[in-house]
Structure 1
Amino acid sequence: MTATDRPSNRPFRVETIDYATGVDDLRAVREPVFVQEQQVPLALEWDELDPLCVHVIARDAAGAPIGTGRLTPEHKIGRMAVLPDWRGRGVGDGLLLALIAEAERRHWPELHLHAQVSAVGFYVKHGFVPVGDRFMEAGIEHQTMRRQLGGPTAIDTRDAAVAIACAVIAGTRRELSIYSRALDPGLFDAPEVLDALRRLGTRRQRVDVRILLQDADAPQRAHAPLIALAQRLPSVFGFREANDPADRGYASAFIVNDGSGYYFRTLGNRFDGEGAVDAGGRARQLADTFQPVWERSRIVTEYRVLGV
C-alpha cells in the first residue's frame, strides 16, 4: 500500500467506482504502481476479493484515473496507489478520507490495513496506530495498522502511543497542550515525536506549544531532548509547573490540540490509554481541564538558561 500526504494545487476528485465496469480504470493505476514500479507479481496484484470490495478512484480534471483504494469485506483498506506525477498533491489523503467515510456510512466499528513501512507516517496522521511487528508482504516490508471508528482508538503499546501523539501534533492548528508529570520518557523523547514537534514549531504559521509539568526537575536532570528543542524555539514552547497540591496529585496525562485530536492516559506513567484525531467534544473537554491549571501554575524559568 502506497500513499501521499501533501496538499494539491491541481484539481482532482475522488469517487466510488463499480469494479465490473471500472476495472480498466483501476488497472491504469494499480499496474503501473504495484506491478511495474514495485515489482509485485501480477498474479498477486489482482485477487478474488476485488469483485467483493468497495473501490474508490481519484480522477484528474479531465477524468483520467490517477489514484485508487479499496475496502474489503474484512474491513481492511488496501490497494492504495497514486500515479507518480500526482504524489505529494493530496490525492492519497482524498482517497483515504473517502474510504474512511464509506466505512463510517456502513457503521463499521474499526478499520485496519497493511501499510508499506515508507507510508506509516501518512496513516499515522489520519489516526491509524501500529499493531504487532513488521512483516514482509509481496517482497515489501509492511506494518499492520488500525483505527477505531465512531469512538477513540485504544492505545496499549509504546509504538501506538508514539503514533497517536504524532497524529495529535500534526493535527494542531495554532495551539497544542501537553499535561505530563515529567515529559514521559519513552514518549516525548521518541525521535518521531521530537521530529513532529520540530516540524510544528518551525511552521510559518504562529503556533503555541504549552507544556504543563508536575515535576520540572526530573526532565532537567535527565537532559530531556525536548527541553533543548524548546530552547531553540523559545517563542513556540512554554513550560509551567503545577504548584497546587491538587494539581500535583493529578494521576492522568494527556496531549490535546485545538482541532479534534487527543491522546489521554488514565495513569500518566503508562502508555495505555485512548486517542482520536476527530473527537472534538473530548478534545475540548481536555482543553478546558488544562486551561485553569495552566493559569495558576508557575512559569519554569530555569529551562531558559540551560546550555544547548
Structure 2
Amino acid sequence: MNAGFRVVEVQDYAAALPALRAVRQAVFVQEQQVPAELEHDLAGDPLCRHVLALDADDRPIGTGRLTPERRIGRLAVLAPWRGRGVGEALLEALIARAKALGWRRVSLHAQTPTVGFYARHGFLPHGPRFLEAGIEHQDMQRQLDAPNPVEDAEGALAALIGAAAGARRELSIYSRELDPGLLDRPEALAALRRLATSGGRSRILLQDPQTPQRSLAPLLSLAQRLPSGFEFRAIEEPVDLDYPSAFVVNDRDGWYFRPLGHRYDGEARIDGGARARQLRAQFLPVWERARPCSEFRALGI
C-alpha cells in the first residue's frame, strides 16, 4: 500500500479488462475525447503487459501497458488521484518490468503537457512533435542500461529536469555563463525552484559571471528571491578556465555531461551512480578553488 493505493501487474488480461477499460474510458474517451475505437485497441491490447493501480477498496484508479514494440502506453490516472504519486508508481512499475524482460530501451508517446513528467523519470525527447488522435504528442525514449544521448536543446532541457528532480538535497552545475537557452528556460527555472523550495540548493560554478549579470539572467532573479537555494562561485584558476566541458550532477545518481560546454549534445542518465560519483569528485576541488561571486552580492545572493 502506498498513500492509499497499490500497483499490481495484470496476470489475466480478460479478467482485468473491465478495470482497464473503466480507467481508460474515463480519461481518454470521456475526458480527452479520443474516439473509442482508437482507444480500445482490440488487436493490440491482449498482446501487451498491463499494470493497474487500485485504491484501498481495490477499485481501479490508474493503468498503463508495455507493448511488444517496447513502448509504454495508455498511462492514465483518474482525475481525483492525480498529483498523489499514482502516475509515478505506474511508470516505475512499467520500467521495472521492462528491465526484468531484458529490454535495453523503452519509448513512449507523451502528450505535450506531460513531457516534463517523463523527463523527471529519465526520458528524453526525440524528433518533432506530432498529432495522435488529434492530440499533440512527443516521442520520448530512455536507455535502460546505458547513458541517453542528448542531441539538441529539447533533450538538454529534459536531461537537466531529470537531474534536478533526482536530487536529494543538492545539484552541482558547472557552466560557462549560465547557459543561455537552457538555464533561462521556464521549465529549467521551475525545476531549480522546486529543489530550492523543498530545502535543497544548487551550487553553480561559472567561468564568466559577468555576462549573465549584464544580461539580467532569469536564474539570478530566481536566486535573489530564494538566496538559500543557490550559491555561485567564479572560476579563476587557468587550468579550470581551460576546461572545455560542462555538466550537471546531483547528489544521487543523475547527471548530464556535455563534452563541449557551448553545445547541447552530450549524454545523460538518472541512474548512473559511478559516473555521478566521478563528476562530483571532479566538481568539488574546482568549487573549493573558486571564489564567491562578489558580483552578485548587490542582488542579495
Aligned equivalent of 1:198: 193
Structure 1 unaligned blocks of 5 or more: 1-7
3-state DSSP of counterpart to 1:126 = coil
> Which one-letter code corresponds to 2:164 in the other structure?
I
Separation in structure 1 between the aligned mates of residue 8 and residue 284 of structure 2, nearest angstrom: 40
The 5 A counterparts of 1:69-108 are: 69-108=64-103
Cα distance in 2, alignment partners of residues 14 and 157 from structure 1: 37
Are 2:265 and 1:272 aligned?
Answer: yes
Mapped to 2, the partners of 1:279 and 1:307 lie a distance apart of: 35
Q: Give the superposition deviation at 1:63.
A: 1.9
- Residue 84 of structure 1: CA displacement? 1.9
Structure 2 SS opposite 1:176: strand
1:26 is matched with: 20
Determine if contact 2:7/2:90 at 8 Å carries over to the other structure: no
Q: Runs of 5+ in structure 2 lacking a partner?
A: none
State the partner residue of 1:5.
none
2:160 counterpart of 1:165:
yes
- Residue 277 (structure 1) shift: 1.1
Q: Structure 2: how far apart are the matches of 1:302 and 1:85?
A: 48
One-letter amino acid matched to 2:158: A
Following superposition, the deviation at residue 55 of structure 1 comes to 0.9
Which shows bigger deviation, 251-260 or 21-30? 21-30
Structure 2 match to 1:115: 110
Could you report, residue by residue, the CA deviation over 1:167-214 in whole angstroms, capped at 9, with x for unpaired residues?
A: 2112211111000111111111111111211222222x3x22110111
Aligned to 2:136: 141
Deviation at 1:306, TM superposition (A): 4.2
User: Which string of whole-angstrom CA distances, capped at 9 and with x for unpartnered residues, describes residues 246-302 of structure 1?
Assistant: 111111100111121111001111000011111122111111110111011111111
Q: Which runs of 4+ in 1 moved over 3 A?
A: none
Mean Cα deviation higher: 138-147 or 19-28: 19-28
TM-score (normalised: structure 2): 0.95
Deviates more, 1:88-97 or 1:127-136: 127-136
Cα separation, 2, equivalents of 1:220 and 1:30: 49
Question: Number of residues paired by the alignment?
Answer: 299
Q: State whether residues 231 and 304 of structure 1, in contact with CA within 8 Å, keep that contact through their aligned partners in structure 2.
A: no
Q: Which amino acid aligns with 2:243?
A: Y
Percent of paired sites with the same residue? 59
1:290 is aligned to 2:275:
no
After superposition, residues 60-71 of structure 1 pair within 5 angstroms as 60-71=55-66
Range 55-64 or range 292-301, more displaced: 55-64
Determine whether 1:226 maps to 2:219.
yes
Q: Matched residue of 2:34: which SS?
A: coil
Cα distance in 1 for partners of 2:187, 2:69 equals 30
User: TM-score with structure 1 length normalisation?
Assistant: 0.93
**Amino acid paired to 1:153:** N
